[in-house]
Amino acid sequence: MLALVQRVSRARVVVDGATTGQIGAGLLVLVCAEQGDTEAQADKLLAKLLKLRIFSDAQGKMNLSVQDLDGAGTQGGLLIVSQFTLAADTSGGNRPSFTNAAAPADGRRLYEHFVAKARAAHPVVQTGVFAADMQVELVNDGPVTIPLRVAPVL
């Protein structure tokens, strides 16, 4: 599985003119399941995401995770959005191929698993709508954008 993580001051997802998810400071997480991915990989990706130290501490160093913010008097949110286009392969030309992306049923299952586990582990979790045409608005803080990928769990 892979994710593109953006540290944000605020972010929201709009579907058909209605806001489906919105956070203040925290992480916008674009998540993609690839063929052959498992729940174990989703769990590993979430664990890495929750411990990723990309928020500033009192000295201004990126030393705090989104979970550390809760202990610092601020609740950092997670806005989790499915994005199969992260699996794009552009090596064959100018038109991306998405053959590496999981089939829609598998992608939905892994996305829903990831979101459920995130909600169990973190107090502020919002989402987009799987397979919907979404508009994602964000203010990237920094900017800080980090790609995450987890290999199969053996």
Question: Looking at 6, 41, 84, 126, which residue is catalytic?
Answer: 84
Question: Looking at 83, 114, 126, 127, which residue is catalytic?
Answer: 83
CA 128 – CA 115 distance, rounded (Å): 10
Query: Sign (positive/negative) of CA torsion 153, 149, 85, 10?
Result: positive
Question: Looking at 35, 85, 99, 135, which residue is catalytic?
Answer: 85
Beta strands in the chain (DSSP E): 2-15, 18-23, 26-32, 55-56, 62-64, 77-82, 125-127, 135-149
CA 108 – CA 105 distance, rounded (Å): 5
Among this protein's residues, is 83 annotated catalytic? yes
Backbone angles phi, psi at 103, to 5 degrees: -60, 150
Give the active site residues: 83-85
